[in-house]
Structure 1
Amino acid sequence: MTVRRTLRRLRRYVQGGLGMAIGMLAYPIAWFGWFRPRDKLAAAVGDLLLVGFYGASSASPSARLLARQARRGQVGAVFFVDQNIGTAEEIAGLLRLFRSGASQPLLAIDHEGGIVQRLTAAHGFTPLPAARDIAATMSPAEARSLYAQAGRELAALGFHINLGPVLDVDEPTNPAIGVFGRAYSTDPEHIAAYAQAFIEGFASAGILCAAKHFPGHGRAVSDSHDGAADISATWTEAELDPFARVLASNHAPPMVMTGHLRLDPVAPDGRPATVSAPIVTGLLRERLRYQGVVVTDDLDMGAVSHIMGREDAIVQAIAAGSDLLMVKNLFGYDPLMPQRAVSWVRTAIARGVLSEEQVMAAAERVRAIRRQALASSRSE
């Protein structure tokens, strides 16, 4: 782990602790569900929210509230980051907490391999090499077998979604992707072959995957954790090729994740891809004809939070064509965020920024994969 990454992680822990302390002031209102909207639009907005939490055990107040909000239908999906990973027993306890109600949220985690593998041998999981090492040492068929084993392990624990694979081109100097070996190759055909092995392997165990980071993070020279990664001068059409190949295959991923990537030739307003209609709707939906779920990268990351607040980020992501909105809700912890999101969307509809049809269509795409995921988990 680099010194920069260690310092960034330490800073996040401190920010998370402070944010949690401040957010607890509104906790009783959120816990008892006061002022909670209960109509069709509110239910749809809840299905669009993929929310994180603070803590690594089922005793965490943040986790307990989020589980309660999921049972009420205020939040449709939950994601785990490294800050949520404790012992095997603590992880199992958290998963029981989130799966305890009649209305269960989708449960997501990053399980790429290499440095981005939250569940490790210490938790009883098969170690996965980084993507670059997989491509250098295994055939796609061998990789598929390994990923299928990892998928069975995730499914047995209770997860539904793996936020991978990476379809970015491999540029070793890239500070977020290349330096950690997270990309398979520079060759679009090879990238697509190994990404397909990843998707099919996990799918064989009932785990849904999200291909990332559209429209291509590989040649960025900055890290989107800190600010929007400007790929305007380095990105080429060739970076769409791996996505085009995988999306046109017989086993297209049910989700594509957009990155916080600025691409001025396509989106001259300078907005990152996660909140950009020319990129999400124009490139992904219209040009590549993708009809599945578009999931944003974390809207609380610096790339977005430095230029807009949560309200604008959520509204603009939906307006851009996104469906599943990832909000870590950690550094500026807000127990009432799901309720506020409903209000923000209502206001945007009243102002003509969004339409109710747009929101309902996004919710239906998410509900389709939810039905698929929960049916697979019940058959395990």
Structure 2
Amino acid sequence: MIAYPGAWLGWFRPRDELAAAVGDLLLVGFHGSTSASPSARLLARQVRRGQVGAVFFVSENIGTTEDVVGLLRLFRAGTARPLLAIDHEGGVVQRLTKAHGFTRVPAARKVAAKMSPSGACSLYAQAGRDLATFGFNVNLGPVLDVDDPTNPAIGFHGRAYGKDPRLIASYAQAFVEGFGSAGVMCAAKHFPGHGRAVNDSHDEAADISATWTEAELEPFTQLLSSCHAPAMVMTGHLRLSQLSPDGRPATISAPIVTGLLRGRLGYQGVVVTDDLDMGALSRSMGRREAFVQAIAAGSDLLMIKNLFGYDPLLPQRAVGWVRSAIARGELKEERVMEAAERVRALREKMF
């Protein structure tokens, strides 16, 4: 018996250039930890059809070594060339561990305390080879946030390298260079700076207006202008009233994505959102609104975990959201096509 028959049979299968472009913007998660998962099998079919261009793994998707390899083989089957992403920062944010034959990577704070940038680069190069051997080609890191031990999402877990922007940038360059040497592209995060937020954006949008300073841009500025600029920058669900007085978090804020990141910092690579299903957005708006606003703001790759409120028809619905938004004047088709071209160019470099 086929699970999710409507989705499996391909209702609203892409038939035109716009629908294909929307598929390239989707970075989607799935249920299960083996290749027998109906959710994984459906997503793999959607990848083969060009309805989804990128897949990301979370802790729920990690089983045994054989399970992970089997899933990656499933997503890579056929002629599609999907981006296959995972969080592999080190410390508590390392899904694949010694049990899978992976090098243990310390948290960023420990790396900066115990290693030189060149030593860190060697460590990250080995970690990159581990990922590449399995079939991953995107690492959702490094963290460029300023370290504050009281921050519940970053500092508490030692995920930041330190307080000095130059130090942060030097280790971030080592991260990007190391993983890049193994063919794994990176996504620097969380723009414009999550480190001094007093709350966790997994639960609610973190308002950084009272704590954020221009110094938190410096690690990004230095990394983006270096010879090891990352292929992607990830925006956070961070409210910054100085730049976005309407209260929209960075992930859906044109002044922050297009104005600050693209305009002032001159970044021309792929902008990827943090998970649009996180409480920071999902408590105040639905997926459709978040998806459309993120594209309109200037984002290129939109992450949707799709675990809570699982929707097997998500790729088809996304096409509908975009079509209706264009018809209503909420979104320009040119913006969608521009985003898709950036993602396609990244994939071409990778493959």
Q: TM-score range by the shorter chain?
A: over 0.9
Q: Deviations over 1:111-159 (max 9, x none)?
A: 0000000000000000000000000000000000000000011011100
Please point out which of 157, 168, 181 is paired with 1:180.
157
Task: Give the structure 2 partner of residue 280 of structure 1.
Answer: 257
Q: Is the 8 A contact 1:113 1:129 kept in 2?
A: yes
Normalized per residue, the structure richer in helix is 1
Aligned twin of 1:28: 5
The equivalent residue for 2:274 is 297
Alpha-carbon offset, residue 309 of structure 1: 0.3
Instruction: Work out which of the residue numbers 254, 257, 268 in structure 1 matches 2:234.
Output: 257
Cα distance, 1:38 vs. partner?
A: 1.5
72, 88, 91: which one aligns with 1:95? 72
Note if contact 1:26-1:335 (Cα within 8 Å) is conserved in structure 2: no
Alignment-mate amino acid for residue 119 of structure 1: L
- Helix, strand or coil for the counterpart of 1:326? strand
CA distance in 1, matches of 2:39, 2:173: 36
Residue 141 of structure 1 is matched in structure 2 by 118
Q: Supply the distance in 2 between the matched residues of 1:142 and 1:73 (Cα, whole angstroms).
A: 40
| Distance in 1 (alpha carbons) for counterparts of 2:12 and 2:52 | 16
**Distance of 2:304 and 2:326 partners within structure 1:** 21
Contact 1:45 1:341 in 2 (8 A): yes
1:369 paired residue number: 346
How many residues in Structure 1 have an aligned counterpart in Structure 2? Answer: 351
CA distance in structure 2 between the partners assigned to 1:37 and 1:170 by the alignment: 44
Q: After TM superposition, which residue ranges in structure 1, 4 or more long, deviate above 2 angstroms?
A: none
CA contact (8 A) 2:165 2:215 kept: yes
Deviations 1:1-34 (A, max 9, x none): xxxxxxxxxxxxxxxxxxxxxxx99911100102
Q: Distance in 2 between matches of 1:146 and 1:120?
A: 14
Q: Deviations over 1:291-337 (max 9, x none)?
A: 00000000000001011100001100000000000000110100111
Please show how residues 126-275 of structure 1 align to structure 2 within 5 Å. 126-275=103-252
Q: Secondary structure at the match of 1:295?
A: strand
Alignment of 1:14-53 (within 5 A): 27-53=4-30
Aligned residue for 2:27, secondary structure, equals strand
Displacement of 1:350? 1.0
Cα distance in 1 for residues equivalent to 2:12 and 2:166: 52
1:104 Cα deviation from its structure 2 partner = 2.9
Equivalent residue number for residue 5 of structure 1: none
Q: Aligned pair 1:360/2:324, yes or no?
A: no
Gaps of 5+ in 2: none
Instruction: For residue 35 of structure 1, report the CA deviation from its aligned partner.
Output: 2.4
Q: Secondary structure at the match of 2:112?
A: helix
Report the counterpart of residue 346 of structure 1 in structure 2: 323
Q: C-alpha distance in 2, partners of 1:322/1:214?
A: 12
CA separation of 1:303/1:76 partners in 2, compared to 1, >3 Å: closer, same or farther? Answer: same
Deviations 1:197-240 (A, max 9, x none): 00000000000000000000000010001000110100001100
Per the normalisation by structure 1, the TM-score is: 0.91
Residue 104, structure 1, aligned to residue 81, structure 2 = yes
Partner of 2:170, secondary structure, is helix
The offset of 1:251, in angstroms, is 1.7
Same amino acid, percent of matched pairs: 77
Deviates more, 1:195-204 or 1:102-111: 102-111
Instruction: Tell me, yes or no, if the aligned pair for 1:26 and 1:336 is still in contact at 8 Å.
Output: no
| Match in the other structure for 1:327 | 304
Q: Is the contact between residue 174 and residue 220 of structure 1 (CA under 8 Å) also seen in structure 2?
A: yes
Distance 1:169 1:302 in 2: 23
Query: CA separation in 1, counterparts of 2:30 and 2:162?
Result: 34
SS at match of 1:212: strand
* C-alpha deviation, 1:372, in angstroms: 1.7
Shift of residue 91, structure 1, vs aligned partner: 0.4
For 2:303, what is the secondary structure of its paired residue? strand
Give the gaps of 5 or more residues in structure 1. Answer: 1-23, 376-380
CA contact (8 A) 2:237 2:250 kept: yes
Structure 2 letter corresponding to 1:245: Q
Superimposed CA distance per residue, residues 158-187 of structure 1 (whole angstroms, 9 cap, x where no aligned partner): 001000000000000100000100000100
Q: Is the 8 A contact 2:11 2:316 kept in 1?
A: no
Amino acid paired to 2:224: L
How well do the aligned residues superpose, as a CA RMSD in angstroms?
1.1
